[in-house]
Homo-oligomer: A and B are copies of this chain.
Amino acid sequence: MRVGLLTGGGDVPGLNAAIRAVVKRGEGEFGHSIVGFRNGWRGVVDGLSVPLSRQHIRNVLPLGGTLLGTARFHPHSKDGGLDAVLSTLEAERIEALICIGGDGTLHAAQKVAEAGVRIVAIPKTIDNDVWGTDASIGFDTAVTIATEAIDRIHTTAESHDRVMIVEVMGRDAGWIATTSGIAGGAEIVLAPEAPFDIDRIVKFLKHRHRAHASFSIVVVAEGAVPAPGTAMHYETQRGQFGEVVAGAIGERLKAEIESRTGFDTRVTVLGHVQRGGTPTAQDRILGSRFGVAAIDAITSGQSNVMTALRGERVELVPLEEVAGKVKRVPDDLLAVARALA
């Protein structure tokens, strides 16, 4: 069987573990030929394929990024893109395609599946907002990096009445902000799920610094917004791919807090460091399990499904149940962050 494989969207650590698992299991156990496409969907459109076998995946487990390259490119949003995809897959005699990606890639996968291609998807996103799975590849590493940064900032308590803002990723969901905020012991966590009231924040900070503290940490997701009708007006600023402009909310919050409290306020924007470097053990394990599950699904005739972590098990969910939905941070987890502030 000839199985295609691509990684789309932004880089995350753990992609190579999934690629390795697909190749090892597909080639070693079932004798499939694995055909990689470079740079996500763009490589399928452009016909950039590369045969993948065991020598290509040696020693890749600790490496960040993806050995296939990736791109933020969606064939369905480009005129003729879908035709080019079908044409390449036919020319390469691809019988099934494994797509590793986040919501954009999965959305494209759904369109390609509707055109008759057998697809198995593997979710990856540091934002952790893919619906239907407890975890996506890359999230654990991002939380680990953000927590380490908060730890570091915690010890730089040099001055009196300082507020440190740490802006982390999370466009539509505040998973990184909420979990790293809990793990790092942040005083305030701001997530898109719970629009904030700047007056309450300012009141809390003033009270806290008056009482005893000289130092507060605010972790803010890039997609956090003020609640309608509250004292601060702000709309999320987006770039050409719909991504949030790094630093925008962080800098804006700094200005508000500084002018309303008088406290020296600093912003650290973690940015790209959150999505690079050696993957955590969890992301390697998740990538490995998803890769094995994907090739097993294809081999057993499954189609148009996504691998998903459900508790301790890896299961398959229909792709159409997943596409277009956002998994938001549940109230009980937001409540834990608040309870420990």
Q: Which residues of A are at the interface with B, using a C-beta cutoff of 8 A? A: 10-11, 13, 17, 20-21, 24-25, 28-29, 59, 61-65, 69-72, 134, 140, 143-149, 151-160, 164, 179-180, 182-185, 246, 266-269, 271-273, 275-278, 280-282, 284-285, 288-289, 292, 310-314, 330, 332-333, 335-336, 339-340
Contact = CB atoms under 8 A, between A and B. Distances in A.
B285 A64 contact: no
Contact of A183 (B61, B268, B313): B61
B271 A61 contact: no
A122 to B, nearest CB: 14
A152 B340 contact: no
B311 A332 contact: no
A283 B96 CA distance: 38
- Copies of this chain, complex-wide, total 4
A282 B158 contact: no
A209 B268 CA distance: 30
Given A183-B281, A272-B164, A154 B59 contact: yes
Contact of A151 (B17, B277, B310): B277
Contacts of A310: 311
9 contacts: A11-B158, A20-B340, A24-B340, A59-B154, A64-B152, A147-B284, A155-B276, A266-B271, A267-B271
A21 B340 contact: yes
